[in-house]
Amino acid sequence: MPATVAAETDADYILVGGGLQNALILLALAERKPSARVVLLERENRIGGNHIWSFQTLDLPEAAMPWAGQLIEHEWPGYQLYFDDSSRWVEGAYRSLSSEYLDRLVREAAASRPGFELQLGSEVVSVEADGVTLADGTRLRGALVVDARGPELAAPAGAGGYQKFVGLECRLRAPTGLQAPILMDSRCDQRDGFRFHYVLPFSEDRVLIEETYFSNEPDLDVAAISDDILADAGRLGLEVAEVLRTEVGVLPMPARSHFRPRGASPIQAGYAGGWFNPGTGYSLAAAARLAEHVSRVPLAEVFGAEWRRLTRELRVQAFFLAFLNLLMFRFFHDDKRRRLMERFYMVSDPVIHRFFAMRSTLVDMWRIMYVGAPWTPKGWAKRATERG
């Protein structure tokens, strides 16, 4: 990478794909490098598709808050978990963000920075180290290209399993008493792996109800699961008046991590580049760390020591998380998987937060393997948790 950007380039940063990853990079650059030249290319006419992204307290690094703080559309003080034989509250901010909200943030940031340009409705057909070619033949040259064209381009998951879900955003007939999300309620019939409900209460009469499976198979019968959700809503204390929106996801939980980023342009970023948590299929935490890195360091140092530190750290985390998937999807089936999840949530709140943020320490890894493992007698595990 040259120390100074050649005058003949069209942009300092070319961001390919206007999904979560590049939206975060653009927002970070808007805060840290407002006079940079940034082009974001997205084939659709809006940013971020059709999602609700949830994230936990440590998923946004503290240092990133000057630009990442605005991502918090909804926030709750913690969340609840219910299993057949136990329940628990996890303390620590739980947050969410919708595509519409992200779209607005990105448009506002770009509109107030003269060097920032959003090219919506632009299909990119090829991506190279120093630029891209669009479907209409236009060639754009950039000093750094970030290719984040989303899950369609992700490497096959290989052995492992899937977190798959159908979510219905609903208007309720009567106000919900819920003050915080239910991250997992598995007090329902178990089938197709581990099955549970997830509820986000956005307001008194608007909630997202998701039915989720940790399954060995990717198939999803959206119509049947939507019916199940409506049938189960009463058990969750929710009276549905109307379904406003449906969200469907099949996120690979690979048993082997593919995260091996090259230290050169174009950066394979976002989901396709393996910047996600293999243990959850969620990518916001890893995407925020990449955005923080790209926006902090000078262009000439993007692949320097700090890049090597960040990618090494995430590789270790991804390896550990994928190993947990290997254990779960190969050895824990049916009721054993449900009990495994219940045991995992015996670990302390900080261990849970670091697990989601891909910041587990070696001691955390030991705790997850020891406290969270069904082969450790419950009494020993409890004592280890209390000591931790």
Which positions lie near ligand FAD, rule CB under 6 A? 17-21, 41-44, 49, 51, 53-55, 123-124, 148-151, 247, 249, 251, 270-272, 281-284
Q: 108 CB contacts (<8 Å, ≥6 apart)?
A: none
- Is the distance from CB of 18 to CB of 96 less than 8 angstroms? no
HSE at residue 200, side-chain half, CA atoms within 13 A, is 19
Q: Compute the least distance from the CB of residue 127 to ligand FAD, in Å.
A: 8
Rounded to the nearest whole angstrom, what is the least distance from the CB of residue 91 to ligand FAD in the complex? Answer: 20
Pick between residue 201 and residue 343 the one whose CB is nearest to ligand FAD.
201
Q: Which is nearer to ligand FAD, 243 or 384 (CB)?
A: 243
User: Based on the number of CB atoms within 10 Å of its own CB, is 219 exposed (0-12), middle (13-18) or buried (19 or more)?
Assistant: exposed
- As measured in angstroms, the least distance from the Cβ of 119 to ligand FAD is 9
Q: How far is the CB of 82 from ligand FAD (least distance, A)?
A: 20
Closer of 197 and 367 to ligand FAD (Cβ): 197
Nearer to ligand FAD, 59 or 381 (CB): 59
Phi, psi for residue 80 in degrees, rounded to 5: -110, 145
**Single-letter amino acid code for the residue at 60:** L
Complex with ligand FAD: residue 277 or 367, whichever CB lies closer: 277
The DSSP result for 203-270, as a single string, is ETTEEEEEEEEEES-----HHHHHHHHHHHTTTTT--EEEEEEEEEEEEEEESS------SSSSEE-T
State in angstroms the smallest separation of the CB of 85 from ligand FAD.
27
The nearer residue to ligand FAD, 181 or 372, going by C-beta atoms, is 181
Give least dist CB 71 to ligand FAD, A.
Answer: 11
Tell me which residue has its CB nearest to ligand FAD.
Answer: 19
Q: How far apart are alpha carbons 31 and 71 in whole angstroms?
A: 13
CA 369 to chain centre: 23
Instruction: Report the residue number, 285 or 341, with the smaller CB distance to ligand FAD.
Output: 285
Residue with tokens 């999602």: 51
Sign (positive/negative) of CA torsion 346, 193, 166, 147?
positive
Phi, psi torsion values for 201, nearest 5 degrees: -90, 105
Rounded to a whole number of angstroms, the minimum distance from the CB of residue 102 to ligand FAD is 9
